[in-house]
Amino acid sequence: MSALEVGVVGLGYWGPNLLRSLSRVSQLKVRYACDLDDEKRAKLAHSYPQTRFTGNFQELLDDRDLGAVVVASPAPTHADLARRALLANKDVFVEKPLALAASDAEELVELASERDRVLMTGHLLEYHPAVTRLKETIEAGELGEIFYVYTHRLNLGVIRRNENALWSLAPHDLSLITYLLGQEPVEVRAVGHSYLGGEVEDVVFGTLRFADGKLAHLHVSWLDPHKERKITVVGSKKMAVFDDMARDGKLKIYDKGAEAPEYRSYGEYLNLRFGDIVMPYVPNDEPLRLECEHFAECLAERKQPRSDGHSGLRVVRALEALQHSLSAGGQAVSLQSTLLARESGG
Ligand SMILES: NC(=O)c1ccc[n+]([C@@H]2O[C@H](COP(=O)([O-])OP(=O)(O)OC[C@H]3O[C@@H](n4cnc5c(N)ncnc54)[C@H](O)[C@@H]3O)[C@@H](O)[C@H]2O)c1
């Protein structure tokens, strides 16, 4: 039996990227590739002669030699497929979002813990070298105390019909925000609108408030003139921007801020500081390759991934709360009270 044999489920838009990247990780063998659609399987099968292509997910679960399952099917199927895989004692990688309901995500986290299984969520950006460097910069205190962050994930297209811009685009931003700040929001608000005649919001603006006063704002849209994938972090000492669309210098650290001269009390008189802009060296490694290698390492060393089930759960909780607010026209939704109610069985 080899724990490093994996099966990929879902070969639509994203699954083939995972199939390719996982196949290139030397410690892994992609034993199965599964999709309900015959054509999707037929298109890929000739490129992977060592992999068995099947339309039957149960076949993967019944194979006792198969160690892990990678779920890249549509989001509404994640919880069910991941639950079945964990119950069959497989390690599991689930594309984002981990589930569509926090209660399902919680169950997956508990199941993985009870059965001592690796549970990883496909929060790709947590493996981006620029994000790793930004996290190190924040943790080293270089930016000072973090005040607030905001993200833009904008483009014209890809227009979705079955999920809104929040669920389609914001998981990446929420994983970034919670990863970089190391905490979950206590209260969120969201407003959005459907402009293209569908039933789902094409643009969503969300705000997250954290217990220590930090704020985060996210703007997601598939109806926008700009192609932007950007996060700005404003700290008491410096500010940082990660711009994933930039060709060079995806990460920039701005030595800018506002500070009180020592001889006066704060607020009485503030000096604006305009210093150097530094572009730290960031290796040009593909995040998807790093993500797949990290999964292999976690399987081999039996450790929980950077973007583990808890990370997936934090993002689903935030999405669920933002969706409640969106549906209620932008009302504040408290996550703390939801968490407390759950803990007390309410
Ligand atoms: N990490 C990223 O940057 C990124 C990018 C795009 C998509 N995704 C995620 O990847 C997942 C898939 O998205 P997509 O755009 O590829 O979707 P898609 O609809 O293009 O493909 C999904 C595939 O899953 C198959 N499928 C559905 N149910 C199945 C089942 N029970 N068993 C086997 N196959 C099944 C479908 O036939 C389809 O081919 C989503 O969770 C999405 O959020 C992640």
Indicate the fold that domain 129-287+320-327 takes in CATH: Dihydrodipicolinate Reductase; domain 2 (3.30.360)
Q: Each residue of 211-232: pLDDT tens digit?
A: 999 999 999 999 999 999 999 9
Average pLDDT score over residue span 303-324: 97
Phi, psi of 16 (to 5 degrees): -60, -30
Please give the angle made by the CA atoms of 129, 134 and 139, to the nearest 5 degrees.
125
pLDDT band at 346 (very low <50, low <70, confident <90, very high): very low
Write out the H or E segment, with its range, that includes residue 174: helix 165-181
The confidence band for 3, taking pLDDT boundaries of 50, 70 and 90, is very low
* Amino acid of residue 35: D
3-state helix, strand, coil split of the chain in percent (to 5) is: 35, 30, 35
Q: What is the pLDDT of residue 271?
A: 86
Render pLDDT for 255-294 as a digit per residue (tens, 0 to 9): 999 987 766 555 567 889 999 999 999 999 999 999 999 9
Q: What is the pLDDT of residues 12-39, one digit of tens each?
A: 999 999 999 999 999 999 999 999 999 9
User: Are the C-beta atoms of 259 and 271 separated by less than 8 Å?
Assistant: yes
How does strand 146-156 pair with strand 215-221?
parallel
Computed over every residue of the chain, the mean pLDDT equals: 94
Q: What is d(CA 129, CA 321) in angstroms, rounded to the nearest whole number?
A: 30
DSSP per-residue letters across 46-60: TT-TTSEEES-HHHH
For tokens 């802009």, what's the residue?
A: 277
- Cβ-based neighbour number of residue 76 at 10 Å: 11
CATH topology of domain 5-125+294-305: Rossmann fold (3.40.50)
**For position 62, what pLDDT does the model report?**
98
Residue nearest to atom 15 of ligand 1 (CA): 13
Q: What is the pLDDT of residues 35-87, one digit of tens each?
A: 999 999 999 999 999 999 999 999 999 999 999 999 999 999 999 999 999 99
Helix/strand/coil (H, E, C) string of 224-254? EEEEEEEEEEEECCCEEEEECCCCCCCEEEE
Token pair of 249 as six digits: 């210098």
Burial of 49 per CB tally in 10 Å (0-12, 13-18, 19+): exposed
pLDDT for res 1: 42
Domain boundaries, given as residue ranges, for the chain: 5-125+294-305, 129-287+320-327
Residue among 35, 37, 220, 307 to mutate when testing ligand 1 (max atoms within 8 A of CB): 35
Output the CA torsion sign for 81, 82, 83, 88. Answer: positive
Residue closest via CA to ligand 1's atom 18 equals 12
Instruction: Work out which ligand 1 atom sits closest to the CA atom of 124.
Output: 1
d(CA 198, ligand 1 centre) in Å: 21
Instruction: Identify any residues that bridge with 238 across adjacent strands, giving them in sequence order.
Output: none
